[in-house]
């Protein structure tokens, strides 16, 4: 199935929601001009559609395979089409766009990287995970590395010639990273011998790149238990020679890869460090600061996973739409008697398509606004603190909401295909399977909900959330009575009021009994996420009223926003009851009684 990059939709959100023109007047982005940004996004779209998208089915059908190499280390082979596409990706240089020009980067704002990632992930999510993890490792080295480490690793990682991994999880340390037991013993020359086993390491082994830089969390001798005793180490697959080229093989072996529901093209590795003569690693950042330092990249990583929700919804929608236009079944209301209608003419199919389309617009607003807020914190402008609060509030919504929604939307894409959707040959099932992981990794959506009520809602005693709800209410009043938007304004007013009541309930009852807040946290994330999406779509819809653009395009944006207002915003009414029910009923049955 071909992929058509939604360049125009991305541009519209960049213009009217994220306000990129404003962003580019702020340091350090003043050297980036809008025309070049637009041109780049367009060329990236073409590259992803023509070079990366055709490899998506290979990733699923052939997948990554494991074997033992001649050197005795575990070997991972990805589909041949991945290797050649990756080579072209390196040649493109698109991996370097948002990074420091000192190391070969483009110095573009993060939102540019988000646009690239959206296009790449829609094209092939499994493939896109490799550059995504590399990006996280680049960020970590850039923030916490010594000058020598930066000079040695960053230039090669920015081009993608070397890739990066993040090694946190161990068999007994998943969401509770503090439980990890991997060890780092000092050798005496500044380096450490790393030993232990890490699981769920994305692209932990492959041969697309000439070196892999593993960032590993481990404990030094005598370190305190829990997260305070964790340090971060840089462990390359091949140790660098004097001239920086990859030399001796380090003692890191991929001992197996997982057999997964989806993203088959992305090898999920079990890595064994130091099983033979010891894996050499160097500290990255201060001893004991590993966990805190890993969290510097967390906002970006969670935003990127949220983006996978949008990207797969977009791809699945494109395929479902194509099918609905071609598949002829039954006679639609209003069709000539006896004539067979394409299923797109049936109201129920339309409902599914409109729901997908409307969520695509909503998610794109949320994610790109989140990226823009992160970018606005960088230059330290007057509003940097407010932007940081906004970005921090948006992160659990971007990650949690978009990755929940993608499960529903890729499921609808299968539904639109009917029985053929359940058959693998159609290809639409792959998006559903690939999407499923996004709600789990990078902090499960339960963790996101806990983060929302436990850390984000309490910011300034709840004022950050309440101020945003006030702004949404003001926008709702402004859009009430605006004819092309139907009942968007009144529905946003009601939804905002419901979210305010739920927020106030949590602020009051969550403080006395944290389990009350946690019990309602998942429906609250959905509720606040839907309302914030509604308000951002309100901003988008407002812009359509006087934007200088193609009339059909603007009308489609209005219809999509209106659908969200009239059909999706009202669902928050039901969520209010869930949020404010408290924890008692969840624990009414004992663990034994649940058996």
Partner 1 sequence: MKVVVCVKQIPDPADPGALDPETKTLKRDMKLILDESDSYGVEMALQLVDAAGEGEVTLVSMAPNNERSGLSTALAMGAASATLVSDPALQGSDSLTTAKVLAAAIKDQSPDLVIAGSESSDGYTGTVPEQIAGVLDLPSVTAAKSITVDGSSIKVQRQTDAGHDDVECPMPCVVSVTAGVVEPRYPSFKGIMAAKSKPVDEKTAADLGFDADAVGWAGAGQEIVDVAEAPQREAGEIVEDDGEAYTRIVGFLEELKII
Provide the annotated active-site residues.
Answer: 442
Among 25, 30, 65, 88, binds partner 1 (CB under 8 A): 88
How far, in whole angstroms, is CA 370 from its chain's centroid? 11
Helix crossing, 125-144 with 147-159: angle to 10°? Answer: 160
Q: How far apart are CA 530 and CA 518, in angstroms?
A: 19
* Run of H or E including 312: helix 298-326
Rounded to the nearest whole angstrom, what is the least distance from the CB of residue 553 to partner 1 in the complex? 11
Residue linked to tokens 């991305």:
10
Residue 46 binds to partner 1 (criterion: CB under 8 A): yes
Residue 50 binds to partner 1 (criterion: CB under 8 A): yes
Rounded to the nearest whole angstrom, what is the least distance from the CB of residue 191 to partner 1 in the complex? 35
Q: Which is nearer to partner 1, 51 or 568 (CB)?
A: 51
Q: Which is nearer to partner 1, 40 or 372 (CB)?
A: 40
Instruction: Tell me the two tokens of residue 415.
Output: 């539904």
Using the 8-state DSSP alphabet, how is residue 22 labeled? Answer: H
Rounded to the nearest whole angstrom, what is the least distance from the CB of residue 2 to partner 1 in the complex? 10
Residue 92 binds to partner 1 (criterion: CB under 8 A): yes
Among 18, 20, 76, 97, binds partner 1 (CB under 8 A): 97
Helix crossing, 428-435 with 402-416: angle to 10°? Answer: 160
Residue 51 binds to partner 1 (criterion: CB under 8 A): yes
Residue 328 binds to partner 1 (criterion: CB under 8 A): no
37-to-101, 356, 467, 534 alpha-carbon distances in Å? 16, 28, 32, 27
Rounded to the nearest whole angstrom, what is the least distance from the CB of residue 154 to partner 1 in the complex? 16
Q: How many residues bind partner 1 (CB under 8 A)?
A: 19
Q: Which is nearer to partner 1, 158 or 569 (CB)?
A: 158
Among 22, 27, 30, 33, binds partner 1 (CB under 8 A): 33
Instruction: Tell me the two tokens of residue 119.
Output: 């296009």
Using the 8-state DSSP alphabet, how is residue 244 labeled? Answer: S
Instruction: Tell me the two tokens of residue 458.
Output: 């309490």
Residue 84 binds to partner 1 (criterion: CB under 8 A): no
Residue 52 binds to partner 1 (criterion: CB under 8 A): no
Q: How far apart are CA 500 and CA 470, in angstroms?
A: 9
Residue 275 binds to partner 1 (criterion: CB under 8 A): no
Residue 96 binds to partner 1 (criterion: CB under 8 A): yes
Among 22, 25, 30, 39, binds partner 1 (CB under 8 A): 39
Q: How far apart are CA 51 and CA 54, in angstroms?
A: 6
Stretch that binds partner 1, among 40-48, 222-230, 290-298, 319-327 (CB under 8 A): 40-48
Using the 8-state DSSP alphabet, how is residue 51 labeled? Answer: I
Residue 43 binds to partner 1 (criterion: CB under 8 A): yes
A 10 A CB-CB count for 451 gives 21
Pairing of strands 268-273, 192-202: antiparallel
The most distant pair of C-alpha atoms in the chain lies apart, rounded to whole Å, by 86
Residue 35 binds to partner 1 (criterion: CB under 8 A): yes
Stretch that binds partner 1, among 12-20, 45-53, 336-344, 383-391 (CB under 8 A): 45-53
Neighbouring residues of 482: CB distance < 8 A, sequence distance ≥ 6: 488, 489, 545
Residue 65 binds to partner 1 (criterion: CB under 8 A): no
Q: How far apart are CA 570 and CA 497, in angstroms?
A: 11
Helix crossing, 298-326 with 110-123: angle to 10°? Answer: 40
Residue 363 binds to partner 1 (criterion: CB under 8 A): no
Residue 93 binds to partner 1 (criterion: CB under 8 A): yes
Among 94, 273, 432, 524, binds partner 1 (CB under 8 A): 94
Among 68, 91, 545, 589, binds partner 1 (CB under 8 A): 91
Rounded to the nearest whole angstrom, what is the least distance from the CB of residue 242 to partner 1 in the complex? 28
Stretch that binds partner 1, among 9-17, 32-40, 260-268, 360-368 (CB under 8 A): 32-40
Rounded to the nearest whole angstrom, what is the least distance from the CB of residue 379 to partner 1 in the complex? 21
Closest CA to 426 of 438, 439, 416: 416
How far, in whole angstroms, is CA 443 from its chain's centroid? 11
Q: How far apart are CA 514 and CA 526, in angstroms?
A: 19
Closest CA to 194 of 237, 153, 159: 237
Among 10, 40, 402, 579, binds partner 1 (CB under 8 A): 40
Among 79, 106, 489, 520, binds partner 1 (CB under 8 A): 106
Rounded to the nearest whole angstrom, what is the least distance from the CB of residue 146 to partner 1 in the complex? 27
In the complex, the residues that contact partner 1 under the rule CB under 8 A are: 4, 33, 35-36, 39-40, 43, 46-47, 50-51, 88, 91-94, 96-97, 106
């Amino acid at each position: 199935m071909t992929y058509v990059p939604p360049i125009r939709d991305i541009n519209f959100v960049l213009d009217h929601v994220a306000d990129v023109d404003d962003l580019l007047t702020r340091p350090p982005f003043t050297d980036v001009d809008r025309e070049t940004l637009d041109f780049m996004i367009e060329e990236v779209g073409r590259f992803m559609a023509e070079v990366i998208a055709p490899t998506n089915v290979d990733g699923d059908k052939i997948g990554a395979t494991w074997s033992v190499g001649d050197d005795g280390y575990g070997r991972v082979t990805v589909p041949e089409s991945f290797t050649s596409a990756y080579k072209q990706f390196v040649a493109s240089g698109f991996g370097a766009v948002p990074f420091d020009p000192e190391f070969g980067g483009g110095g573009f704002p993060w939102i540019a990287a988000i646009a690239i990632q959206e296009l790449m992930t829609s094209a092939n999510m499994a493939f896109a995970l490799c550059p995504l993890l590399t990006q996280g490792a680049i960020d970590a080295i850039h923030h916490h590395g010594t000058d020598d480490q930066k000079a040695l690793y960053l230039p090669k990682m920015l081009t993608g010639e070397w890739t990066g991994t993040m090694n946190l999880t161990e068999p007994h340390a998943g969401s509770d990273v503090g439980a990890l037991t991997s060890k780092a013993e000092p050798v005496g020359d500044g380096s450490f011998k790393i030993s232990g086993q890490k699981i769920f390491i994305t692209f932990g082994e492959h041969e697309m790149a000439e070196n892999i830089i593993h960032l590993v969390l481990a404990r030094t001798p005598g370190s305190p238990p829990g997260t305070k005793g964790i340090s971060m180490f840089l462990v390359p697959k091949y140790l660098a020679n004097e001239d920086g080229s990859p030399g001796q093989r380090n003692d890191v072996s991929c001992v197996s890869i997982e057999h997964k529901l989806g993203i088959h093209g992305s090898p999920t590795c079990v890595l064994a460090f130091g099983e033979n003569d010891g894996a050499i690693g160097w500290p990255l950042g201060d001893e004991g600061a590993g966990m805190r330092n890993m969290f510097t990249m967390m906002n970006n990583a969670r935003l990127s996973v949220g983006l996978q929700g949008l990207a797969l919804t977009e791809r699945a929608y494109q395929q479902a739409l194509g099918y609905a236009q071609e598949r002829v079944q039954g006679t639609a209301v209003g069709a000539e008697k006896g004539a067979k209608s394409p299923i797109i003419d049936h109201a129920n199919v339309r409902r599914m398509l409109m729901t997908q389309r409307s969520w695509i617009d909503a998610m794109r607003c949320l994610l790109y606004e989140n990226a823009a807020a992160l970018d606005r914190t960088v230059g330290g402008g007057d509003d940097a603190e407010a932007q940081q609060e906004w970005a921090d509030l948006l992160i659990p919504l971007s990650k949690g909401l978009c990755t929940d929604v993608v499960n529903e939307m890729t499921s609808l894409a299968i539904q639109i295909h009917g029985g053929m959707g359940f058959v693998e040959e159609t290809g639409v099932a792959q998006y559903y399977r690939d999407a499923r992981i996004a709600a789990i990794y990078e902090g499960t959506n339960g963790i996101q909900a806990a983060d929302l009520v436990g850390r984000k809602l309490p910011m300034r005693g709840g004022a950050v959330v309440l101020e945003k709800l006030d702004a949404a209410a003001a926008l709702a009043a402004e859009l009430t009575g605006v004819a092309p938007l139907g009942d968007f304004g009144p529905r946003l007013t009601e939804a905002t009021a419901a979210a305010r009541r739920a927020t106030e309930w949590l602020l009051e009852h969550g403080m006395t009994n944290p389990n009350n807040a946690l019990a309602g946290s998942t429906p609250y994330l959905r509720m606040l996420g839907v309302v914030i999406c509604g308000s951002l779509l309100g901003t988008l819809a407002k812009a359509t009223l006087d934007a200088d653009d193609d009339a059909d395009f603007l009308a489609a944006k209005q219809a999509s926003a209106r659908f969200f207002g009239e059909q999706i915003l009202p669902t928050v009414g039901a969520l209010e009851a869930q949020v404010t029910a408290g924890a008692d009923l969840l624990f009414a049955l004992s663990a034994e009684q649940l058996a």
